[in-house]
Structure 1
Amino acid sequence: MQHTTGEDGRSLRSGFNWHRTFAFAALVLLAPLARADEFKVVIEPGYTPESVAQIYQPLLDYLGSETGHRFVLSTPRNYQFHWRDLRQNAAADFVFEEAHFTDYRTQRFNFQPLARLAERTSYSLVALPETAELGIEGLVGKRLITMTSPSLGYALLSDMFINPLAQPDIRSEAASWRDGVEMVFGDEADAAMVPRFIADMYPNLQVISRSREFPGMAFSASPKVPQEVANAVREVLINLHNNPEAHQVLVEIGSSRFEPTSAEEYRGSQDMLRGFFGFR
């Protein structure tokens, strides 16, 4: 092949090779940035979709800034849609759910619990003082508001009202757990089943009964997620409380910290779903 020279006598072909080498080196340096992936995070619908975005988007943004990946929020419109998607193993890379859903995904679809909220989950049956003083028997036939099945709060009502002939009028009409409390204040319901941390926010309501406890909500990874990514997410979550600048992220989700967890910690929690349509 003919070798062309420039005015200074240097090979133009050599100059071309130098530029090509430089371009290749630049691509190598930028390769880690190009490998950033997008992951879908499904969060159970304990609030309206708009409120879920407001509460949890800061957490997903923080995960993105710390891992270099992008985490996209998804939440079903209500628990019935969530249960349908869960049973069908609809596409999800990560999920953030209560104990019964966490165990179901782990046992059926090999999801891996990574970290959980430090606070254990329990639910409280609350009412205004004049209703609460009648006790749990006083709610038979009265309006009890909760979120749709099979939310954990709804499922736990079966522990409180064992006799099928002595049941309250259970109405799963609340759009969020806080909505249930507001319906009690608005005389649209006589009592509400809500997470304990919400009951603690309303000292003018009295607790009629408290449920048993479960491990806190867990952040779990699909088996399709690369293990190095799952490990990175776990490390970011369990170290989040050590970053003062990220404190507001925990405030938004109502927790003090994330702690490491495993599938074994949730084993048996899926039994709360046995009475609901589609359980297998």
Structure 2
Amino acid sequence: MMIKKCFLTVAMAFTAAPALAANYTLAVEPNYPPAQAEQVYQPLLDYLSASTGHTFRIKTAANYHVYWRDLRAGMKVDFAFEEAHFAGYRMGRLGFTPLVRTLEPTRYSLLADAMIAEEGTSGLIGRPVVSMPSPSMGYLLMLEIYRNPIAAPEIKSVGTGWRDGVEMIFSQETDAAMVPNYIAQLYPNLVVVSESREFIGRTLSAAGTVPSDVQDAVEEAMLKLHEDPGSYEVLVELGATQFVDAPAAEYTNSESLLAGVFGYKPRPAKPAAEVEPEPEAIDLDSISDEDLGGLEVTADN
């Protein structure tokens, strides 16, 4: 009897014990060279590790072409922090769940110095403009400004980060740069030539393979991030003031921005539900007694 009680006590202890610490990868867009990305996102990784008890490491790519290739191939990662068009793709194709997003929505601005900006968007036709490569959101949204490829700027994807384009304006290596608004607001001495439409803020999503309790812990930590006095550096590096809930319904059409990108394949259409035909009504007056096997059918008034 005592042995049974001991086994029961041990079993209950294991059941009540918290989940063992695990290692998780966080994919981020290649907005920085890999070495710099580790420095930029390290405060976030440290915060998540301290808040959840798990270990997080960053996963990035050399450039957007590689990032898009890996995304299409379904390369295994546990979490991803990226713009809405990538988050929607992961949700619809790879079973990811959006957890939180930045409070600030995403917009991109085409920046130039005051003299060039006076000429408007048409003044940049044929002139050099810097953007991160396709399929970054900035590049795709610039194509919405210049829909006619004949009447468009000379788009140069030579920067290793969004700030590189701005610095190239100052060094006169380019006439304009397409950058996210959290970067644009840091340079009030430049003028916004054009601003893109608005998207859901950058999103932190989780793979379906991540245990639900870990997802909940990460979500809770991110929602409380702005309340932590020591989290200022994290938010500054991310260009955000706060993270809020990210309902999945908000991402239904967000991947549509990728539709014209090389390698994109539309999701297969869901097969239409088969509708069973309704039984035909029977007109009893048209049926003879012989059709009913000799029975006579009558109806009372």
User: TM (normalized to structure 2)?
Assistant: 0.81
Q: Can you list the C-alpha shifts for 1:70-99, whole angstroms capped at 9, x where unaligned?
A: 111111111111100100110100000101
Pairwise mapping of residues 172-183 of structure 1 onto structure 2 (< 5 A)? 172-183=157-168
Structure 1: segments with no counterpart, 5+ residues: 1-20
Query: Aligned partners of 1:57 and 1:230: how far apart in 2?
Result: 20
Q: CA deviation at 1:34?
A: 7.6
Identify the range of structure 1 (179-188 vs 50-59) with the bigger mean alpha-carbon deviation. Answer: 50-59
- Would the aligned equivalents of 1:144 and 1:171 in 2 still touch at CA under 8 Å? yes
Other structure's SS at 1:137 match: helix
1:72 maps to 2:57? yes
Contact 1:112 1:262 in 2 (8 A): no
Q: Deviation above 2 Å: which 4+ runs of structure 1? A: 31-34, 245-248
Corresponding residue for residue 18 of structure 1: none
Q: How far apart are the structure 1 equivalents of 2:157 and 2:237? A: 25
For 2:189 and 2:63, how far apart are their aligned partners in 1? 28
Unaligned runs of 5+ in 2: 1-5, 266-301
Is residue 190 from structure 1 mapped to residue 175 from structure 2 by the alignment? yes
Give the root-mean-square deviation of aligned CA atoms.
2.1
SS of 2:160's equivalent in the other structure is coil
* Cα deviations by residue, 1:206-232 (Å, 9 ceiling, x for unpaired): 110000011111000001111111111
Structure 2 Cα separation of the partners of residues 173 and 184 of structure 1: 13
Q: Distance in 2 between matches of 1:140 and 1:225?
A: 47
For 1:102, give the aligned amino acid: A
Query: In 1, distance between residues paired with 2:149 and 2:234?
Result: 43
1:29-48 pair list within 5 angstroms: 32=17, 35-48=20-33
2:38 aligned partner, one-letter code: A
Q: 1:34 to 1:259 in 2, by over 3 A?
A: closer
Counting only pairs closer than 5 Å after superposition, residues 143-162 of structure 1 correspond to structure 2 as 143-162=128-147
Question: In the alignment, residue 179 of structure 1 is paired with which amino acid?
Answer: D
CA–CA distance in 1 between the matches of 2:236 and 2:188? 20
Aligned counterparts, 1:214-229, within 5 A: 214-229=199-214
Q: What is the rounded CA distance, in whole Å, between the counterparts of 1:34 and 1:269 in structure 2?
A: 34
Displacement of 1:51: 2.4
Partners of 1:112 and 1:247 in 2: CA distance: 26
C-alpha separation in 2, matches of 1:34 and 1:80: 37
Displacement after TM superposition at 1:32 (Å): 4.7
For 1:63, give the aligned amino acid: L
2:152 — aligned with what? 167
Alignment coverage as a number of residue pairs = 259
**In the TM superposition, what is the alpha-carbon distance from 1:154 to its structure 2 partner?**
0.2
Please give the residue correspondences for 1:52-71 in structure 2 after superposition, counting only pairs within 5 Å: 52-71=37-56
> What's 1:115 paired with?
100
Q: Which amino acid aligns with 1:107?
A: G
Secondary structure of residue in 1 paired with 2:186: coil
* Aligned residue in 2 for 1:213: 198
Alignment-mate amino acid for residue 128 of structure 1: D
Distance 2:145 2:231 in 1: 39
* Larger helix percent: 1
Larger radius of gyration: 2
Match of 1:268 in 2: 253
1:12 maps to what in 2?
none
8 Å CA contact retained: 1:123, 1:194? yes
**Partner of 1:16 in structure 2?**
none
Cα deviation 1:112-143 (Å, max 9, x = unaligned)? 00000111110000111111111100111000
Question: What percentage of aligned pairs have identical amino acids?
Answer: 47
Match of 1:101 among 64, 86, 110: 86
SS at match of 2:32: coil
Match of 2:109 in 1: 124
Write the distance in 2 (CA, Å) between the matches of 1:100 and 1:151: 9
Distance 2:119 2:236 in 1: 35
